[in-house]
Amino acid sequence: MSMQPKPHVQERRNLQYDRRERQSDRCRGCGEFCKIRRQCPAFKVKCCHCDRIGHYKEVCEHQMREIQNPNRSGHDFLKHNRIHLDFDEETLFISETGTKNYTAVEMNSGLARTICSITIPPLSQVDIPIRASRVQSKVAILEPLSSLPQQSLAGAKFCISLVNGNKSLMRIMNPTKKGEFLPANSVVASVSLVTSLS
């Protein structure tokens, strides 16, 4: 006579397997692997996005629905104005309405470096001469590097006209009470080319 397991023992094994499998899924509250829901760090936390309790905004289902909705993320605006984003080439194409001209912005195509060393006086702003590398255009967009605030300096993103192929001026502000020194050839901004395509 062979012994077969009792039915309730088999059911208990299935429940244990289901529980283990559920534990391997990520928690819907914090996004990590929580074994017990009440011990989840997000159990009594209020979501900043939907104002509900029990999850972080990073795993909020309402936020995910909005991101997946193309009308909310700007795709309808881009399509209506015939704007094309190419993330592989890091290029933005903007067609001008009523004409056959197109404008292309090539992102981060070069760097802007100081031509000579300069000391920026305290509590002032100075136009410093810069040289853009790898640039063969007349118009470009300068975006200050994130390392400028570490040097106690500030700059703004703006459009410039390049003289002699690659030279221009960049305004940098020193909000501190002591002078800040910038050596020659120090990188201060990234350069994005703006070209008009006919």
Q: How far is CA 165 from CA 7, 22, 132, in A?
A: 84, 62, 9
Residue type, 6: K
Structure tokens at 144: 């200050």
- Can you tell me the distance from the alpha carbon of 130 to that of 186, in angstroms, rounded to the nearest whole number? 10
- Can you tell me the distance from the alpha carbon of 179 to that of 173, in angstroms, rounded to the nearest whole number? 11
> To 5 degrees, how large is the angle CA 138–CA 174–CA 177?
170
Say how many C-beta atoms besides its own lie within 10 A of residue 30's C-beta: 18
For the chain, what is the mean pLDDT? 74
Domain boundaries, the chain: 7-68, 102-197
Q: Which CATH architecture has domain 102-197?
A: Distorted Sandwich (2.70)
Tell whether the model's pLDDT for residue 99 goes beyond 80.
no
- Contact of 109 with 191, CB cutoff 8 Å: yes
Q: Across residues 108-114, what is the average pLDDT? A: 83
> To 5 degrees, how large is the angle CA 184–CA 192–CA 105?
170
**pLDDT tens for residues 41-69?**
777 788 776 778 887 777 777 655 544 44
- Can you tell me the distance from the alpha carbon of 149 to that of 157, in angstroms, rounded to the nearest whole number? 14
Q: What are φ and ψ of residue 133, in 5° steps?
A: -90, 150
- Can you tell me the distance from the alpha carbon of 186 to that of 191, in angstroms, rounded to the nearest whole number? 14
Structure tokens at 81: 């104005």
**pLDDT tens for residues 112-169?**
899 999 999 999 999 999 988 877 667 888 888 888 888 889 888 888 888 777 888 8
Q: Which residue has the tokens 């255009």?
A: 137
User: Which pLDDT score is estimated for 148?
Assistant: 87
Structure tokens at 8: 């309730």
Model pTM score: 0.47
Structure tokens at 128: 């410093």
Structure tokens at 71: 């009308």
- Contact of 166 with 140, CB cutoff 8 Å: no
